[in-house]
Amino acid sequence: MAKKRLLEAINKINFDGEKAFIPYIMAGDGGLNSLKTKLLYLQDLGATAIEVGIPFSDPVADGPTIQSAGERSLANGTTLRLIMKEIESFYEVVKVPLVLMTYYNPILSYGLKKFAVDCERIGISGLIVPDLPIEESDTLRMELASTDVALVPLVSLTSPAERIAKIIASGEGFIYAVTVNGITGVRDGFDEQLKQHFVSLKEKSPIPVLAGFGISTPEQVVNIGALADGVIVGSAIVDAFHQNDLSKIQALIQASKKKVLN
């Protein structure tokens, strides 16, 4: 089955001359009953899609801001099953694609087949699993094959050309291009070779290439977004919600709406 919804949402934004903007939130941070409010708020601001983080006790890709959000969520008793149940209660009013970001262990505990079926049933459009390498993804990929849930791959700055080719060939929805070596979090600058890295990825990839990790200001949304088809912003969004600084979120999303010349 073609993975269409997430891909089409990004392509539509790009066709209109804008960059895709995917904010990340941690489900259960501030209480699971706040999830619907946050999703609808981001949708109303014009998010292209929304990445929903699943809290995990041993994250490997998350920086301190998202780790702290995950700890607050876990302290509230949040689990993957409860998140899925909560999304099921309101998913019909969420019009933008939802992308779950989870580590592999919660999916295994949930049950691969049941997870795939439930994701399809409640309208999940994408899945990011940072600790699942492409070489070990076939089992999950098979369960998702009959759904419209795209398994979004990550590409790092240090990935060799041969591996990048394999990742791109398996890519669904979009290619998540990590802009830094390391974990998520706010950064002041980026590698000077980043531009060439994105030129190469976009030349090779038949699907959109989005930049993520370390993008935290409107200026970075514009500058890094210019290299890619869009950006993913996590720590800055999570922190803004935690501090109730909604103007910061508005400024970040607005920066992605600047028209670009093709």
**What is the set of active-site residues?**
51, 62
HEC readout, 234-252? CHHHHHHHHCCCHHHHHHH
List the alpha helices (DSSP H) in 1-103. Answer: 5-15, 35-45, 64-75, 80-88
Convert 131-155 to b/e letters by CB count within 10 Å (16 or more is b).
Answer: ebebeebeebeebbeebbbbbbbbb
Is the torsion defined by CA of 186, 257, 3, 174 positive or negative? negative
| Residue 12 CA: distances (Å) to CA of 4, 26, 95, 138, 140 | 12, 26, 14, 29, 28
**How many residues are present in the chain?**
262
Scan for tokens 């070596």, then name that residue: 181
CB 18 within 8 Å of CB 258: yes
Q: Residue 172: helix, strand or coil by DSSP?
A: coil
How far, in Å, CA of 93 to CA of 138, rounded? 32
